[in-house]
Amino acid sequence: MNPLNNFPRADPWDDLSGCGGSFSGVRGVLTSPGYPYKYPSDVTCTYDIRVEAGVQISIECSDFSLQPGYDACENDFLALVVTGNATVRYCGDLKPSITLNGTEVRLVFRSNGNYQYRGFLCRYTALDERGYGVGGWSQDNSTENSHLSSLCSDGNRGGGWSGKCGTQPTREHEASRIVGGEPVHANDFPWMVAILKKCGHDEAHYCHVCGGTVIHHRWVLTSAHCIASIAVAKLGVLLGDHNLYTLTPSQKFFRVQQAIIHPRFNTPSPLNNDIALIMLPQTIFFSRYIAPVCLPDPDTARFVASLPDMEDVQQPGTTKLPYYSTQVPLANPVLHPLLIHRNVSVFGWGTTDDAGTLGVELRGATVEILNNKLCDWYFGLMTESMFCTSGANGNGPCKGDSGSPAQLLMRDGRWVQVGVLSFGAAVGCETGYPSGNTLLPLYVSWIREVTGEDFSQFM
């Protein structure tokens, strides 16, 4: 008897979101019904994978939470059925990581009527004779513990990544504004990270709270105020994403191992030193979907030499505004004169209007760096470790964009992050008020000290 017939089909659950299906592409995403919400009771879902290329199939589950069992997963389970072989069941929270010979496999998910758990998100990839993903994605099978999901590359320079920070797969578009604008191209800025926290009933799923950037294999940069009040156990990050509500093979979810807030956050004034680092529990292997942004060169002379020409930047305005000083210096004597009136690009998944419309896809904007006195006139909290960006014509960041980068396109065509979005106007994003950013060049030494990483390897 063919073991593929040992389990019934998913009927009558075929109309249940995520409950089984037939998959013939060289890669794909498999989820439990209703994922990431709890799966229903008493369902059977069958996932038939039949690829037309390759000699093996790799299955990796980045999220796996089923009702545990005490006797061969007798409660809820995900069963692997390979033609001619016995079935193998998986349950609990041990994530399956499987490589199978052949081009055909069936997975069957079955739940009983007792308890409901979050379920699973798995990815399959067809592999060639060398263990590389068919179509360009690779799989490293050198050791038992080195199985990577299909989006990961085989080493630092696989999967379409150039091996250098701040490089894009394509650069064919003009960045559109975050507030009310059009999304940027999918995965065109592979260092973008969505910072998540547990939310909802019983904290069963994750919600977007802020943005961030990939800066090294295990490190993400964000704003301190985004994560300072959230327990590490409730934090998560989503890499390689574009649409927050669509599952794709390029996505990679991680829980957070450690969150490090700058020791002088909120000193001497609110939101000063608003910067933080997130350490991931495992190494990220870079690809065209996940790659690091460049940090500013800590050598000021080299940083200045890499800046683009001033020909296309905005000319200084002549309006003089009164301002309410924080009684601390408002400008760094070296960096601010170099940056004022340059245009930077900002990105995020924040709301797209003052009505709170959620940003589904990543959006971008080009904004001008202004004199800090202008932001201080509005907010009264600027310091020399911040810089101010324009929000003219409602063009700029909004709620949920904090922690996201302000980037400069340098002479060599690579993107360097010069700021971390910190704050905006409480009255709304479409009013044209400016925004405040943490001045990143001042914190590169701190980042290097905390991470212990060599960032020059990506230059």
Give the tens place of pLDDT for each residue, 76-126: 999 988 655 567 889 988 888 888 888 889 999 999 988 888 899 888 888
- The answer to whether 47 and 110 are in contact (CB under 8 A) is no
| pLDDT at residue 192, rounded to an integer | 92
pLDDT tens for residues 348-387? Answer: 888 767 666 777 788 888 888 999 988 888 888 899 999 9
Which tokens belong to 373? Answer: 């006195």
**Burial call 213-224: b when 16+ CB within 10 Å, e when fewer:** bbbbbbbbbbbb
| pLDDT at residue 86, rounded to an integer | 61
Phi-psi region of 231 (alpha: psi -120 to 50; beta: other; left: phi over 0): beta
How high does pLDDT run on average in the chain?
79
Report DSSP state, residue 61. E
Report DSSP state, residue 243. B
| pLDDT at residue 428, rounded to an integer | 63
Local confidence band at 330 (pLDDT 50, 70, 90 cut-offs): confident
Beta bridge partners of 435: 389
- The answer to whether 454 and 417 are in contact (CB under 8 A) is no
Phi, psi of 310 (to 5 degrees): -90, 5
Domains defined along the chain, listed by start: 3-127 (2.60.120.290), 192-292+445-458 (2.40.10.10), 300-440 (2.40.10.10)
The average pLDDT across 166-178 equals 56
- For residues 337 and 243, give the distance between their C-alpha atoms in angstroms, rounded to a whole number: 37
Q: Can you spell out the DSSP letters for 213-233?
A: EEEETTEEEE-HHHHTTS-GG
Give SS3 for 56. strand
Structure pTM? Answer: 0.64
Helix (H) or strand (E) holding 379: helix 372-379
Which tokens belong to 193? Answer: 């990270």
- The answer to whether 58 and 150 are in contact (CB under 8 A) is yes
Local confidence band at 10 (pLDDT 50, 70, 90 cut-offs): very low
Q: Is 274 exposed, middle or buried, given 0-12, 13-18 or 19+ CB atoms closer than 10 A?
A: buried
Among 393, 404, 355, 26, residue whose Cα is nearest residue 212: 404
Highest mean pLDDT among 72-86, 95-109, 207-221, 334-348: 207-221
- pLDDT of 312 > 50? The answer is no
Question: Angle at the Cα of 379 (from 343 to 354), degrees rounded to 5?
Answer: 75
Count other C-beta atoms under 10 Å from residue 305's C-beta.
11
